[in-house]
Structure 1
Amino acid sequence: MKKKEVSYSPDTLPPLSATQRSRLEELADAPDNQINYDDIPRLTDAQLAELKRPEHYRPVKKQITARLDADVLAWLKAGGKGYQSRMNAILRQAMLNAK
């Protein structure tokens, strides 16, 4: 017998039953120390050292107000559109080099 493949998107998920909703609320209210991690193996230090960010990782951006020297701002803007992204890239490189 051939099985029918079912796929859902967030818009087409079936509604939760009262039992499912109640169970989810119980789990959400439970303290972290009651979570059973027995079926999840611990990562070794070597495994943790090999972890890398996902390829499409995008850090959260924060809006700020910064004061720059006029000539520095002119230099950034001279490169055309995207001067704020260039400024971020320059600061990121400086941060990574400082580590």
Structure 2
Amino acid sequence: MKKKASDLTPDQMAELEALAAQPEARIDTTDVPEQRDWSGARRGLFFRPVKQQITLRLGADVIDWFRKNPFPDEGWQTSINRVLRDYVGKHERERT
């Protein structure tokens, strides 16, 4: 189980804050092996965004297309969510 900040002792919080305050150059990563082959990596494996249930009216043709053409290993609603997230990400990058 992942610890929340509220589950940490004051000493643990102080240690984390001290580590976060250090510049990147002072962090010793020599004992961490370099990963060169990412061919077996799976994107988003541990990321679970919070989802909110809403009512949304979409065109019947759009729903039909996504039901017939979901992304591999996803349901049609997840596919719609992925497309919308990609669209938002693209337009956020254009703003900055």
Q: Give the TM-score range, shorter chain.
A: 0.3 to 0.5
Structure with the greater alpha carbon radius of gyration: 1
Q: Which has the higher contact order (CA 8 A, sep 6+)?
A: 2
Under a length normalisation based on structure 2, what TM-score does the superposition of the two structures give?
0.47
Under a length normalisation based on structure 1, what TM-score does the superposition of the two structures give?
0.46
